[in-house]
Chain A
């Protein structure tokens, strides 16, 4: 399979390389020209990386195969880029996934800056940094940004103070900006937007401040808002029966991670986070729809077609903000269109992406809160696992069995790879009173740590959830994985290693010590016909290849 993938990609890659080579050597790189058709073809295009997850199916799979089981031992740093210093207190954690389009790499830097680099050499082309007030609210998360989106000659980025910017891809000049929401009450943007057709779609953070969350779509040319879909229903709307009193007004349900898109079904898939307040469920009786859920939306109107709630009435802060990967395969002999998601609550789910029907769930990491998942997809709760005043020990911790960092799916081998956090926590419950722009939590958590916690990269059978292998990590990771057509899985660790695993066995074949904490996802591209893999460790972006 892997060699086939290499051959399959070799022709377009060569053509592409030739074009790129001409562009690079005869002229300086020009701004990208990426239309919607190019975005639709991103998944199969190993040379570019045009959206946060490397394509609308969000597989984070690079089909390229020059770097493979045999050659990976020769992988070396081709170039590196040092992030720009920032004066902002608390900024500097880097969680970006770069894009690469026509020889230019675009990436974000903490807190909300954008940089364009020559993907061949790493030389800086432009850097844009918005003015953000030192007092910007970021309640419940660090001052990070995870990436951007691209369409035509424009790149799009959300900022920590909840603005959305469109920048000229050639120069970084601002084409338009709009205030998505009011940062003074806790709204913030850390995710990469997603472009579908002529719309820029973006979610937001803020549940720890008790916001009522939503997903927005903006006209890519003008910045005008086209639609807004709230994730917590108002009285009288479907789902409102799962809230009592005014609790919906501060109900949370943040949408802080980029979604996926199925062009055939014309459905947008977006995940939602915890209800607010986080740990005191007494203040919001009911299932609290549509928090901790997967939503299927009409991308043109934002209309909700269906939903699936993973963790009803969550009291452990188990956001469902993980990457939903669109996979196809046989379930009980039937071809199914599915959404696969390794949830923070320690279960791996398959949902029918045509109608939201629950298909499968299986435990992939230690958990002590549910006896299982019933036939409808609802967890079978174990008693007395709620947060309490004296503290309740539960696995996983509030950071979950995984978190925002990306999983990966190899459609050829039907393997689902996920970076796994193995850590319990003592959950506390306390009173909570809503006050705009302040934490609205209702408790806290003391996570187990040290040698009581660890991590792993897991390979699961994507259609059954069965574990195939695990690669142990020293501590619970904050970085994602990327599978490739070369039979490899790239991952990284808190301890600073960027490594390549054999996708069949989980054996480590290559590693590089970046000397810094890694909190980003790997991504891949090709330039001048040569495969590249990129990761950021600390403040340095590294690009690896077999040769210059």
Chain B
């Protein structure tokens, strides 16, 4: 349902429990990694660097936000300490995770060490009953705009792995106030862009509103609520507007009570890509 929540393919560091279970001998360390030898001073330095470079998306405690929670034992794009270093250094193409070049190698290792320490923390508890949330998900017709586990219509963001990308607070906000967040995507071509922007195009044959799928100097492509993609030459539009701060996702603040919201949030948190 909350396409706002998932939109962000900005799945920076994602957990895959199934993979973790299948690789019991991989302890996430390697011989070249300095992380096992790090002391409290290193981790404190890593925390400080994390607060400058990472916390804006991953939260001050690494508990997630626009980016995923890092308080997980296993991260999807990370197989060992070296790959964690590379993800921090280079980013993850096609997601919201940018690379960073300001910290030097030692500092990146300190950040990586701090991220590893987050993996030892217990995962965020669910606020409600995910089974009840699953019923609400179906009853609320969320699938008319979202695909989850292959089912539904792809107008808003896919929710199959939304539990890996968002924490409970972000998911709740997406349900109750979907205008509040504007997830970003990182693109090698255009840099970091507003990933799910509502746009309105007034053409000679009518007015169109939808999610911006693509845009350049000359044209814009949008997906309307039926999932239909429309392409326009900007020069031929009578008007073109970017509706910053306006989500096509309806707010459920007055529709769901607190318990319903907690249940639905819990169901969404349970969506971690496993079927």
Contact = CB atoms under 8 A, between A and B. Distances in A.
B189 A474 contact: no
Interface stretch (B102-110, B119-127, B141-149, B200-208): B102-110
Contacts of A41: none
Interface string B38-80: 0000000000000011001000000000000000000000000
Interface stretch (A49-57, A361-369, A444-452): A444-452
Contact of B184 (A449, A494, A497): A449
Nearest to A511: B218
A472 interface: yes
B93 interface: no
A66 B133 CA distance: 68
Contact of A496 (B100, B216, B242): B216
Interface in B188-206: 188-194, 197
A73 to B, nearest CB: 15
Contact of B217 (A428, A451, A474): A474
A12 to B, nearest CB: 36
B104 A451 contact: no
B169 interface: no
Interface string B224-258: 00000000000000000010100000000000000
Interface in A401-441: 428, 430, 438-439, 441
A60 interface: no
B190 A451 contact: no
A422 to B, nearest CB: 13
B215 interface: yes
A68 interface: no
Highest count of chain A CB atoms <10 Å: which of B100, B190, B244: B190
Interface in A291-342: none
B220 to A, nearest CB: 9
A493 interface: yes
A449 B182 CA distance: 12
A444 B191 contact: no
A511 B103 CA distance: 40
Contact of A450 (B102, B103, B192, B217): B192
A443 interface: yes
Contacts of A447: 191-192
Contact of A428 (B52, B197, B218): B52
A159 to B, nearest CB: 21
Interface in B152-193: 184, 188-193
B191 A497 contact: no
A475 B105 contact: no
A466 interface: no
A353 interface: no
Nearest to B244: A451
Given A438-B105, A451-B244, A474-B216, A444 B52 contact: yes
A476 interface: yes
Given A444-B53, A517-B188, A497 B216 contact: yes
Contacts of A18: none
A382 interface: no
A91 interface: no
A516 B56 CA distance: 30
A140 interface: yes
B192 A449 contact: yes
B104 to A, nearest CB: 4
Contacts of B102: 428, 439, 441, 443-445
B103 A444 contact: yes
Contacts of B194: 450-451
A316 to B, nearest CB: 14
A140 B189 contact: no
Contacts of B101: 140, 439
Contacts, number: 70
A453 interface: yes
A499 B191 CA distance: 21
B12 to A, nearest CB: 15
Given A439-B104, A441-B102, A450 B184 contact: yes
A215 interface: no
A473 B189 CA distance: 13
Interface residues of A, number: 31
Contacts of B192: 447, 449-450
Contacts of B242: 451
Contacts of B53: 444
B197 A451 contact: yes
Given A140-B101, A450-B194, A472 B189 contact: no
Contacts of B193: 449-451, 475
Contacts of A441: 102, 104
Nearest to A390: B52
B122 to A, nearest CB: 31
Contacts of A449: 184, 191-193
Contacts of B184: 449-450
Contact of A473 (B56, B103, B105, B217): B217
B188 to A, nearest CB: 7
B221 to A, nearest CB: 12
Nearest to A472: B217
B104 A495 contact: no
A495 B105 contact: no
B189 A496 contact: yes
B186 to A, nearest CB: 9
Nearest to A428: B52
A474 B190 contact: yes
Nearest to B184: A450
A508 interface: yes
Given A439-B101, A444-B53, A508 B191 contact: no
Contacts of B190: 474-475, 494-495
Contact of A495 (B100, B197, B217, B244): B217
Nearest to A478: B191
Contacts of A453: 191
A430 B242 CA distance: 37
A446 to B, nearest CB: 7
Contacts of B216: 474, 493, 495-497
A514 B190 CA distance: 15
A441 to B, nearest CB: 6
A511 B219 CA distance: 12
Nearest to B48: A430
B152 to A, nearest CB: 27
A372 B250 CA distance: 48
Nearest to A513: B216
Contacts of A517: 188-189
Contacts of B100: 444
B189 A495 contact: yes
Contact of B104 (A428, A438, A476): A438
Interface of B: 52-53, 56, 100-105, 184, 188-194, 197, 215-218, 242, 244
List the 8 closest pairs (A to B, CB-CB), nearest first.
A444-B102, A449-B192, A495-B216, A450-B194, A439-B104, A517-B189, A450-B193, A475-B190
Given A474-B217, A495-B216, A497-B217, 9 more contacts: A439-B101, A443-B102, A449-B192, A450-B184, A474-B215, A474-B216, A493-B216, A495-B190, A497-B218
25 contacts: A428-B52, A438-B105, A439-B104, A443-B102, A444-B53, A449-B184, A449-B191, A450-B184, A450-B191, A450-B194, A451-B193, A451-B197, A473-B217, A474-B215, A474-B216, A475-B190, A475-B193, A493-B217, A494-B190, A495-B217, A496-B189, A497-B216, A499-B217, A511-B218, A517-B189
